């Protein structure tokens, strides 16, 4: 991996998550549980928990909620000094957790947030990327609107110009893209073209390339990966999960990583007794990036990603807080009480 060893810089919106308590519907009773979240911040917290130096770049209001966001990041070891303040509000999203055969449901309320009102000129990437070994961004930022799309492209271009490798999570959010006359294929293609690491599956690659892939399972994913490697010369790794939802409490998950010279795939694991699935993809990204940053091979790296995402389902809140010891215990199959 190119770049000088240093911190992982993550860029994106931070929000409050307001959840119905227990397994209730939203406002079934007049109370909500509150946690702080955001896809890129989840990756920053997850990597910090695994021992990596991380920094979050974002924009929040200059009020108590903005202070709480920065305090949350600091609590888990993330450098919050580049979370600036600006006009607007803190974005919100509401969650009705699923139960049984009822799926979880999310409602966004993030219009006119401090982050969404930001422009590319609000971020000094020379300073923000100084000493960075990796830049992580996702497809959520450009989905917020045309101004945010320009901001995401400017950030990725700045990292590329400075030789900082880019990790990009597709994180396709149809609800966000459909709110404005967007062209997600064109915008996301420009971002992936600058990335070395892509988190996405064959459906994401189909969106980017405008083509379908035949076959099934591993063959289809490899076909899609090879097409992506041909289309995007900078890309060197593609990581994804495959999830089969039995019900809200039981999922079966497998993980895969493709490189230009080969691939590694895990067996499917049953994840039961799910406490909170939100942030599972961000936990997977943290586990994969941990393997990349510590220069592990593809097989260990993909199993690390699976371990962190599987463990995240046991933890309330948006972010993974698991350590390298937790990964080692998971990979060793240690399920009994640690004494």
List all residues 6 or more positions away from 71 whose beta carbon is below 8 Å from its beta carbon. Answer: 80
Residue with structure tokens 């240093």? Answer: 6
208: exposed, middle or buried (Cβ count in 10 Å: 0-12, 13-18, 19+): buried
- What tokens does 34 get? 């509150």
- What tokens does 249 get? 């409490």
Catalytic residue (choose from 282, 299, 326, 336): 282
What DSSP assignment string belongs to 115-131? TTT--GGG--HHHHTTT
CA dist., res. 11 & res. 196, Å (int): 16
Q: List helix spans (H) across 129-201.
A: 140-143, 146-161, 174-177, 184-192
Q: What is the largest CA-CA distance in the chain?
A: 56
What DSSP assignment string belongs to 223-285? HHHHHHHHH-TT--EEEEEEEEEEETTEEEEEEEEEETTEEEEPPPEEEES-S--TTHHHHHH
Tell me if residue 296 falls in helix, strand or coil: coil
Q: List helix spans (H) across 1-107.
A: 39-49, 64-75
- What tokens does 109 get? 């309320």
Whether 282 sits among the annotated catalytic residues: the reply is yes
Distance between start and end Cα atoms, the chain:
39
56: exposed, middle or buried (Cβ count in 10 Å: 0-12, 13-18, 19+): buried
Distances (CA, A) of 233 to 22, 166, 194, 195, 251: 47, 13, 9, 9, 35
Tell me if residue 16 falls in helix, strand or coil: strand
Nearest Cα to 41, choosing from 285, 330, 242, 294?
A: 285
Residues recognised as catalytic:
282
């Amino acid at each position: 991996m190119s770049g000088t060893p240093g911190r992982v810089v993550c860029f994106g919106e931070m929000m409050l998550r307001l959840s119905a308590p227990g397994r209730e519907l939203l406002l079934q009773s007049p109370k909500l549980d509150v946690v702080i979240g955001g896809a890129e911040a989840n990756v920053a917290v997850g990597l910090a928990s695994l021992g990596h130096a991380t920094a979050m770049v974002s924009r929040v209001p200059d009020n108590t909620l903005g202070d709480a966001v920065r305090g949350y990041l600091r609590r888990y070891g993330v450098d919050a000094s580049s979370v600036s303040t600006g006009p607007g509000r803190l974005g919100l999203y509401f969650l009705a957790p699923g139960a049984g055969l009822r799926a979880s449901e999310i409602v966004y309320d993030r219009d006119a947030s401090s982050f969404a009102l930001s422009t590319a000129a609000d971020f000094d990437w020379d300073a923000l990327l100084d000493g960075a070994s990796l830049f992580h961004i996702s497809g959520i930022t450009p989905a917020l609107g045309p101004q945010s799309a320009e901001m995401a492209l400017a950030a990725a271009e700045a990292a590329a110009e400075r030789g900082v490798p880019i990790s990009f999570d597709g994180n396709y959010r149809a609800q966000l893209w459909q709110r404005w006359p967007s062209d997600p294929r064109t915008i996301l293609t420009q971002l992936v073209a600058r990335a070395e690491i892509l988190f996405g599956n064959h459906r994401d690659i189909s969106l980017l390339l405008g083509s379908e892939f035949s076959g099934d399972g591993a063959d289809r994913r490899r076909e899609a990966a090879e097409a992506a490697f041909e289309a995007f010369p900078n890309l060197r790794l593609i990581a994804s999960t495959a999830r089969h939802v039995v019900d809200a409490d039981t999922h079966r998950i497998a993980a895969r990583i493709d490189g230009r010279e080969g691939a590694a795939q895990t067996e499917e694991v049953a994840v039961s007794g799910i406490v909170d699935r939100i942030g599972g993809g961000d936990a997977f990204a943290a586990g994969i990036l941990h393997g990349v940053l510590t220069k592990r091979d593809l097989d260990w790296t993909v199993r690390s990603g699976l371990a962190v995402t599987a463990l995240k389902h046991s933890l309330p809140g948006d972010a993974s807080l698991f350590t390298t010891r937790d990964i080692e215990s998971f990979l060793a199959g240690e399920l009994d009480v640690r004494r």
